[in-house]
Amino acid sequence: MGVVIPLEDNKNKQASIKPLVDLTKSGMERVNQLILSKAGSDVQMIPEVANHLISSGGKRLRPMLTLATAAMFGYEGDHHIKLATSVEFMHTATLLHDDVVDESDLRRGKSTARTIWGNQASVLVGDFLLGQAFRMMVEVGSLDALDVLSTAACVIAEGEVLQLSVAKNMETTEDDYLAVIRAKTAALFAAAAEVGPIVAKTDKATRSALKSYGMNLGLAFQLVDDVLDYGGKSAETGKNVGDDFREGKITLPVILSYRRGTAEEREFWKQSIEGGQSDDERLERALSLIAKYGALNDTIQRAQHYGTIARDALAPLPDTAWKHALNDVIDFCISRVN
Amino acid sequence: MGVVIPLEDNKNKQASIKPLVDLTKSGMERVNQLILSKAGSDVQMIPEVANHLISSGGKRLRPMLTLATAAMFGYEGDHHIKLATSVEFMHTATLLHDDVVDESDLRRGKSTARTIWGNQASVLVGDFLLGQAFRMMVEVGSLDALDVLSTAACVIAEGEVLQLSVAKNMETTEDDYLAVIRAKTAALFAAAAEVGPIVAKTDKATRSALKSYGMNLGLAFQLVDDVLDYGGKSAETGKNVGDDFREGKITLPVILSYRRGTAEEREFWKQSIEGGQSDDERLERALSLIAKYGALNDTIQRAQHYGTIARDALAPLPDTAWKHALNDVIDFCISRVN
Residue B52 has pLDDT above 90, yes or no: no
Mean pLDDT score across all residues of chain B: 90
pLDDT number for residue B14: 58
Does A12 score more than 50 pLDDT? no
Of A53-57, A294-298, B223-227, the range with the lowest mean pLDDT is A53-57
Could you tell me which residue, A40 or B58, shows the higher pLDDT? A40
Stretch B235-262: mean pLDDT:
85
| A19-331: CATH, from 1.20.120.10, 3.40.1160.10, 1.10.10.10, 1.10.600.10 | 1.10.600.10
> What's the average model confidence in pLDDT over A187-196?
98
**Mean pLDDT across the stretch B19-38?**
95
Which residue, among A42, A101, A150, A176, would best test binding to B if mutated, counting the most B CBs under 10 Å from its CB?
A: A150
DSSP B106: E
ipTM: 0.88
Least CB–CB distance from A123: residue in B41, B101, B128: B101
Helix, strand, coil percentages for chain A (3-state, nearest 5):
75, 0, 25
User: Pick the residue with more confidence: A55 or A5?
Assistant: A55
Whether B124 and A97 lie within 8 Å, measured CB to CB? yes
Residue among A101, A132, A143 whose CB faces B138 most closely: A143
Supply angle C-alpha A321, A318, A220, rounded to 5: 70
The CA-based angle A250-A330-A303, given to 5 degrees, is 30
Nearest to B150 among A134, A160, A161 (CB): A134
Tell me if A290 sits within 8 A of A230, measured CB to CB: yes
Residue percentage of chain B with pLDDT more than 90: 74
pLDDT: which is higher, B123 or B6: B123
Distances from the Cα of A186 to the Cα of A162, A308, B9, angstroms? 14, 15, 60
What percentage of chain A carries pLDDT values higher than 70?
A: 93
CATH architecture of B18-335: Orthogonal Bundle (1.10)
Which residues from chain B sit within 8 angstroms of residue A249, using beta carbons?
none
Which of B38, B48, B116, B134 is most worth mutating to test chain A (most A CB atoms within 10 A of its CB)? Answer: B134
pLDDT > 90 fraction of chain A, expressed in percent and rounded: 74
Residue B316's pLDDT is what? 96
Contact by Cβ (8 Å): A67, A24: yes
The yes-or-no verdict on residue B204 having pLDDT over 90 is yes
Whether residue A231 has pLDDT greater than 90: no
pLDDT digits (tens, 9 = 90+) for B84-129: 999 999 999 999 998 888 877 777 677 888 888 888 889 999 999 9
